[in-house]
Amino acid sequence: MSSPLTVVAQVAALGLAMFVSGFITTFSVGIPAVALAPPLLAAQQWHALYNAGKARAPPLALTSFAAFIYLASLAGFSTPKGALLASAGACVLAIVPYTLTAMARTNGRLHECAQGKQGELAGLRPVQEGEVHALLRKWTALNFVRAMCPATGAALGFWAVLAW
């Protein structure tokens, strides 16, 4: 029988992985509504939502990762179960490098667009007609992919914990 701490770690690892995936997905569901606003307002709303997600998702993902690594250490990293749990943790935490690499250009340009005229005065490239809405469509697709990182982690975690 598992110890209470092991059960808490399993609930934290799996629950947070699923929560982070859903949390990230909600942004992709909501951004098309944001895109209905005029371009500057849409970019500014995206910027506010981005900052809200940036403040919340990484710490939750890190907690899930830590719980998965704890579970992997109990199972033994060199065992199939331990390797699966460590992989699950890596998948959850993969939202950070994915954001910093695959989404960097899109995020960077949306941040610039959110500055509006102040950005142009600071020497940033002017916003082109339709650019913000095209960036938001691209961001939505990239974000759906990002949401699959913790979802994959949860699936691997369930596979390991339930011994499928």
- pLDDT, tens digit (0-9, with 9 covering 90-100), for 87-111: 999 999 999 999 999 999 999 999 9
Does pLDDT of 4 surpass 80? yes
Measured between alpha carbons, how far is 140 from 164 in angstroms, rounded to an integer? Answer: 33
Does pLDDT of 121 surpass 70? no
Contact predicate 150/95, CB 8 Å:
yes
Judged by average pLDDT, the poorest of 9-18, 60-69, 123-132, 137-146 is 123-132
Angle between helices 131-161 and 39-75 (to 10 degrees): 20
CA 29 to chain centre: 14
First to last CA, the chain: 18
Does pLDDT of 127 surpass 90? no
Q: What percentage of the chain carries pLDDT values higher than 90?
A: 88
Does pLDDT of 143 surpass 80? yes
Q: What percentage of the chain carries pLDDT values higher than 70?
A: 95
Average pLDDT in the 27-46 region?
94
How high is the pLDDT of residue 6? 96
CA distances (Å), origin 151, targets 44, 76, 136, 147: 28, 23, 22, 7
Confidence of residue 44 (pLDDT cuts 50, 70, 90): very high
Phi-psi region of 2 (alpha: psi -120 to 50; beta: other; left: phi over 0): beta
Confidence of residue 119 (pLDDT cuts 50, 70, 90): low
